[in-house]
Amino acid sequence: MAAGIDDISIYIPRLFMDAGDFAEARGLDPQKLVKGLGVSKMAIVDSNQDPACLAANACLKIMQKNKLSPEQIGRLYVATESSFDESKAMNSYVIGMLEQVYGAGSFQHCGGIECKFACVSGSYALYDNTNWIRAGESEEKYALVVVSDIAKYDLGSSGEMTQGGGAVAMLLNDSPRLLEFDPKVTSTSIKNEYDFYRPFGKETPIVHGQYSNLLYLIQVKNALNDYKRKALKTGLIDMKEGQSMLDHIDYFNMHLPYSNMGKKALAYLVRHELRNTPKWKEVIAEVGMEEPVPKDPRGTIESIIADSEFMTKDSEFTKRFAKTNTYQEIYENKVASSLIASKSIGNLYTASLYLGFRSCLEYEFQKGVNLEGKRFGFASYGSGSSAMVFSGVIKPEHLSIVKEMNLETEIGERQKLSLEDYEELHENKLEPNQSLLSARKEFVLEHVENISSDKRGERRYAFIE
């Protein structure tokens, strides 16, 4: 049975921190953010917003847009790494909010769980719900998968320049209008790692930034290798002599902790794909140096990190490779459009891959590209660490949805934060009733109980007309 994404909606907080102001405040060259990382604005949540109300707002948008009633939603899954409760799933909060609009008990039938595996959990949630539909369990109802996160790092840390926040809701069914997932090729890679993690009770993560970047690349490459094996085995792809995956995947959507990571990750995968093709000789001539080879051919994270000579040469090779015409052409055609939204929103953790997908649809459509039948490859990465690679094909009906997409209108009018306001919000100095913006047709957090011990942690939300 077919299954895939029928529609997608986003909810992005309207406050933002400007990269230039941020760089000035931290004594950084603004070009490090804008050119080096591809960050021009970071969406920041107001004092009356948390990841649950971001998620509920994205769900409400997709339901209203498609005129859906709760009975038409069979499952609701929430994937997040910004959880605020160790036991109660974020689903309950989201359903509680939606029932304020649709009526008490209207979602009673709609089971689901909160999923956690850093930024990759949304992809696991999509995969599980796709299989629920494929198994014929859905009784023609939709699955609603919502990915919602607030990427927040310590003040003054190197992660602080890669913050953001927002939610993406995806409607899945057996006759999707946007994208149908390819069957039997989804592939994963997993390893116990400490590249980025958030121990109990800590609001911000502990991050080993450069290590996390390298792990991302290696894990995605491992998952891609397995995807390729499955794609050949199932006959999804018929690889002719001299071809690579690049001849079979039209667009790559990468996890985007910051926009330029998509460019870096694609360069890594493209090298891997082209290395054994006849084209490689030409590429090496363009790069102007031989590709460095690690001392330990297994290429594990430990062996690569220990090989400092290789690391230095490889970084030089990557920089030169990224400038070649060969790579620039692949970059422009296969990934560039997916990176645009991230530049002005920032990291959304679980949601960033799907914001990238949304961005690719909107900006390729604006370029006049006919997307029908194009295969999208997805490279999802979550620290800790796991990668998932999967793919799908764009359906003819996508046009009715994509032609209406407009990122700016969908976000609404945004307000730039002063450094003082940003830091106050960051340090949780403002109460929910001290929000900087007035809510408009959206859910907001009203109160978190922190006095009464038998109600501690209880959250109250309201829908503001």
In this structure, how many other beta carbons lie within 10 angstroms of the beta carbon of residue 81? 27
Burial status of residue 240 (CB atoms within 10 A of its CB: 0-12, 13-18, 19 or more): exposed
Q: Which residues contact 347 (CB under 8 A, 6 or more apart)?
A: 42, 151, 162, 163, 164, 256, 257, 258
What span, in angstroms and rounded, lies between the C-alpha atoms of 71 and 398? 24
- Which residue lies nearer to ligand CAA by CB, 54 or 261? 261
DSSP state of 370: -
Closest-CA residue to 50 (of 434, 459, 463): 459
Question: Least separation, in Å, of the C-beta of 118 and ligand CAA?
Answer: 6
Q: Which residues of 304-342 are buried (b: 16+ CB within 10 A; e: fewer)?
A: beebeebbebbeebbeebbebebbeebbeebbbbbbbbb
The residue (of 248 and 320) whose beta carbon lies closer to ligand CAA is 320
- Nearest approach in angstroms of CB 328 to ligand CAA is 15
Compute the least distance from the CB of residue 216 to ligand CAA, in Å.
4
**Residue sitting closest to ligand CAA (CB):** 36
The residue among 349 and 390 lying less far from ligand CAA, judged by its C-beta, is 349
| CB-nearer residue toward ligand CAA: 23 or 445 | 23
Q: How far is the CB of 387 from ligand CAA (least distance, A)?
A: 10
> Site residues (CB under 6 A) for ligand CAA?
29, 31-32, 35-37, 118-119, 158-159, 161-162, 196, 207, 209-210, 212-213, 216, 255, 257, 261, 264, 347, 349, 381, 383
Crossing angle of helices 352-366 and 121-134, rounded to 10°: 80
Name the helix (H) or strand (E) containing 269.
Answer: helix 259-274
Nearest distance, CB of residue 279 and ligand CAA, angstroms: 23
Residue 239 CB neighbour total at 10 angstroms: 13
Shortest Å distance, C-beta 304 to ligand CAA: 15
